[in-house]
Structure 1
């Protein structure tokens, strides 16, 4: 008796994955094609002869400062909490990730107000010592070095989290072997733990550098000439989209260089633990001066990166705050949540379909789609905005002309005149976060569940809806939450692509701070930080549960 023919799996999941990859790749293709289209080149020639060198130098120095800073803070903090025992270590282990909730442009505004001439620090110094302005020198925070410091304070948790995991996964037996060979704890760290954790550290530094390259609010407010500020200036001040695309392409070269740095830093190295001791890693007890030094080493980045700026924001919001707080503030919050919520829902839905397509259709097409979707997070928001706005604007005008000819009524700009284009840009930027969260959830579901469902006659769609979705609720919630928070903080793409008279908490914070109305900006900035605390609290709970004894 011959067996029944196997029913061919429907390709609709595969087509969705390919379509998502094409949508993510479209802005990059748009930027590349417009570099060589039209234009006289006068703007580019002017930029090349005047400010292009400054853009390159500033970007390189900024990346160097941030890379060294986040590596030093992140690795140092991770080494202290994983290999030493001192008062408060358990609390510091999870609290050190809190600065990630503080957007870099918010901390830049806060510290500018804190350290400016009429701020509390210099005012207290003059009152205490009777100084006048000409009697002392105080460093200016609004410099390239100050910008590097701001980025370091909020981005070091990327390195800290990855380095901490790497240090914990390397068994205590490896360190004990080093100690038995006469190595001190510090030399064992330099010669054993640090080389073994190098790939993780390089990955954390790469993430921090990509965030630095994508920033607009901090560098713009500090008047640091980078490619992001140049793209914004070329588009809005000079009105030259080709020059903006050319600058965006150069910025992409920096992103590619960062990714290449991360890959080269790995160097194909693989470290395998053969000690069979994955838990109970011994910590060196510290007492006296050493314990105090460890506490100070953990307190300083936590206070400077989160507690102090959050406290200053709260004080400003309560004492002065936004004079328009009320209906205007709730409109801003509604706009922010509308864009973030819509993007999060679409991202989770697409991530579910893309992840499930990779599970069902294992082949080069789905692998290619996954890799292309992953490019979105590596693209700065300003690059995505330029890549989206150019073709979408043309599509808007073509549709308006067509509808006008057919109906005699011009509908206006359907995409750029609404939040549709902005949501698309944010979706391209942050879809990766949702896909990674869903992939992790799907990876925990055994393939036997699929086989059992199919043996009961369920189709691919029915298996996804009735079997996998209930098991992926936690992963889907995490994915949506991550995308929601990222979009709430997104500034470059929102500034470029928001419809007329459509402001969000991020753009309101930037606008008020740019007008030197820092205390009024505190209300919207504090709201962004509070929303950002939600995933940080969840992450802290995860770290606390997975803490090594």
Structure 2
């Protein structure tokens, strides 16, 4: 019986990591056609893909640090009017998918947009007034103000838990405020800043909507070009390994930073840290603090929402109200099914580790939790490779039909990508349950299934609901896998928003885009309430 459970656990893990394994194994299927495509791309566009990917990542990394770190320092070290409000307002850009922000800024700032049109008319100018927003710099701007909350959240947590008492001790020793910030607060928060930056960079590497819409030639664009334009899945998979290598490096940086965060902890209690009072700001310093806290919220949330609301207010008749309900239903249906399956998988994996915390089960769960770091483009290519292989050998099984013509392929890709989100939430819930509960239940004759459903789940219900909410919102916003694997007549809000924006129908794209923003506000509200309870 135990061997059967281990076999089923390993089978589940294999299904979750199969797309990644298929991408890596694509090098074993080296043929002349894929070799020719890669050789041609290597001599023409591949260096540009690599340089653009690295350059965009560096610009975004600098941007999220420059935006997120000052905000985190201001709301933790200083006290000023509105500080409590800014603590949760800083999280609002998390509700904005980066590609929605890109659509909003393009609609307003492009050559024919209202801003440049007004400037030309007001000052009698001709031609382009401002640089083209659809560029690498424009993409870096969008990513920086969409992803800085990763750095803000982790840096704020590190500063709240460790910095106040040490800052107070440095003040008593005569250190000036700039020196306290430079030599006490920032070194303590450095691992958290590195971890947040790495998370933001993984989002950049996984993005398809912004770089595709802005015409930025990154590795993701090269993968789709080799696959869809050149019709060679092997070459696309081999290119995907290059993107996977980027992700592995960034993931290693994030894990290394997380380990350093553990050693940076302080043994001082929360009560002692509360003795250090925040520094009150007035005058010019207060104005600077307000500017640094207001700008990220305005640039990352307020302006994009306002830009999207403008076409809605101008002409409601152009909006696709008839189709909107169908798009919303498709998104909700896919998100709901994936959320339920992801929570069920996370419960099984976490319960297996709790019942048998051996090396094999721990390693299997860690491997299964890597899916969130893998870009959607890599998952899609890796998923269709084994499907194509099975379809070629057993055509009567119709594997390709069930994966590409039904929602099974989409659900599989979603679970590979987002099961780790649910797993992290469930594992954090399990960490708060003492093992004495399990021992008492076993002494009363409770079996494993009854233990999971009658003892664990009632206590994990809050963690399970949080996991389902996070997965649901992630699926609603997911674009690369959905745009390729969706069956006919299964357009989602994310896909429709991308297609309308690509066709320059930005006014019509406003409705599905704002719907995604409204859904994205749910985890932001949940997260802000959690932070308030723990602060």
Using structure 1 for the length normalisation, give the TM-score. Answer: 0.93
* Higher alpha-carbon deviation: 277-286 or 190-199: 277-286
Instruction: Tell me the equivalent position of 1:105.
Output: 99
* Higher alpha-carbon deviation: 156-165 or 499-508: 499-508
Instruction: Tell me the equivalent position of 2:180.
Output: 188
Instruction: Tell me the equivalent position of 1:437.
Output: 425
Question: How far apart, in 2, do the equivalents of 1:293 and 1:38 lie?
Answer: 58
Give deviations 1:462-492, integer Å, cap 9, x for gaps: 1111111111111111101100100111111
**Is the contact between residue 255 and residue 378 of structure 1 (CA under 8 Å) also seen in structure 2?**
yes
Give deviations 1:183-212, integer Å, cap 9, x for gaps: 222221111111111111111111100000
Question: How far apart, in 1, do the equivalents of 2:97 and 2:457 lie?
Answer: 33
**Superposition deviation, residue 260 in structure 1:** 2.7
Give deviations 1:480-533, integer Å, cap 9, x for gaps: 110010011111111121123431111111111111111111111111111111
**Is the contact between residue 54 and residue 225 of structure 1 (CA under 8 Å) also seen in structure 2?**
yes
Question: How far apart, in 2, do the equivalents of 1:268 and 1:538 lie?
Answer: 28
Inter-CA distance 83–338: structure 2 relative to 1 (3 Å threshold): same
Instruction: Tell me the equivalent position of 1:407.
Output: none
Question: How far apart, in 1, do the equivalents of 2:50 and 2:496 lie?
Answer: 29
Instruction: Tell me the equivalent position of 2:532.
Output: 544
**Superposition deviation, residue 13 in structure 1:** 5.0
Instruction: Tell me the equivalent position of 1:117.
Output: 111
Instruction: Tell me the equivalent position of 1:330.
Output: 325
Structure 1 residue runs of 4 or more that deviate by more than 6 Å after TM superposition:
none
User: Match for 1:223 among 209, 215, 218?
Assistant: 215
**Superposition deviation, residue 311 in structure 1:** 2.0
Q: Let me know the Cα RMSD of the aligned residues.
A: 1.9
**Superposition deviation, residue 453 in structure 1:** 0.7
User: Match for 2:277 among 275, 279, 282?
Assistant: 282
**Is the contact between residue 209 and residue 258 of structure 1 (CA under 8 Å) also seen in structure 2?**
yes
Instruction: Tell me the equivalent position of 2:308.
Output: 313
**Superposition deviation, residue 249 in structure 1:** 0.2
- Where does structure 1 lack aligned partners over 5 or more consecutive residues? 1-8, 404-410
**Superposition deviation, residue 20 in structure 1:** 2.6
- Secondary structure at the counterpart of residue 273 of structure 2: coil
**Superposition deviation, residue 151 in structure 1:** 0.5
Question: How far apart, in 2, do the equivalents of 1:26 and 1:203 lie?
Answer: 27
Give deviations 1:70-112, integer Å, cap 9, x for gaps: 1121111000000111111000001101101101111001001
Question: How far apart, in 2, do the equivalents of 1:380 and 1:461 lie?
Answer: 35
Instruction: Tell me the equivalent position of 2:264.
Output: 271
Instruction: Tell me the equivalent position of 1:369.
Output: 364
- Secondary structure at the counterpart of residue 403 of structure 2: coil
**Superposition deviation, residue 30 in structure 1:** 0.6
**Superposition deviation, residue 119 in structure 1:** 1.6
**Superposition deviation, residue 320 in structure 1:** 3.2
**Is the contact between residue 35 and residue 243 of structure 1 (CA under 8 Å) also seen in structure 2?**
no
Inter-CA distance 274–265: structure 2 relative to 1 (3 Å threshold): closer
**Is the contact between residue 32 and residue 249 of structure 1 (CA under 8 Å) also seen in structure 2?**
yes
Using structure 2 for the length normalisation, give the TM-score. Answer: 0.95
Inter-CA distance 280–17: structure 2 relative to 1 (3 Å threshold): farther
Question: How far apart, in 1, do the equivalents of 2:514 and 2:275 lie?
Answer: 40
- Where does structure 2 lack aligned partners over 5 or more consecutive residues? none
Question: How far apart, in 2, do the equivalents of 1:13 and 1:317 lie?
Answer: 54
User: Match for 2:134 among 135, 138, 142?
Assistant: 142
**Is the contact between residue 198 and residue 266 of structure 1 (CA under 8 Å) also seen in structure 2?**
no
Higher helix proportion (structure 1 or 2): 2
Give deviations 1:122-178, integer Å, cap 9, x for gaps: 122123222222xx6312211101101100111000010000000000152211121
**Superposition deviation, residue 278 in structure 1:** 3.4
Instruction: Tell me the equivalent position of 1:339.
Output: 334
